[in-house]
Structure 1
Amino acid sequence: MRHPRDVGAAEGEAFLNMLANERRKAPSTHNQALNALLIAI
């Protein structure tokens, strides 16, 4: 695991895509993860 500050844009996008596509999480989970990444920057 890495701190979100150390994750590049491509890796962040890949993580969010994985949540949505592979794990089929709800949009609210996707939004929460996105907000967590944005706050940590």
Structure 2
Amino acid sequence: MPKVPNHKFLKIGTLNNILRDVSEYLKITEDQLVEEIFKK
């Protein structure tokens, strides 16, 4: 499994790759993952 970089800021491509990997692992869409992460 890829490691998350330990940087103060992530490049947008890195963030997209992390979201894609997590959504694939959880077997949900990226939109569903983002909604779950940022829901109020």
Structure 1 length normalisation: TM-score?
0.48
Q: Which has the larger radius of gyration?
A: 2
Higher-RCO chain (CA-CA 8 Å, sequence separation at least 6): 1
Choose between structure 1 and 2: higher helix proportion: 1
Structure 2 length normalisation: TM-score?
0.48
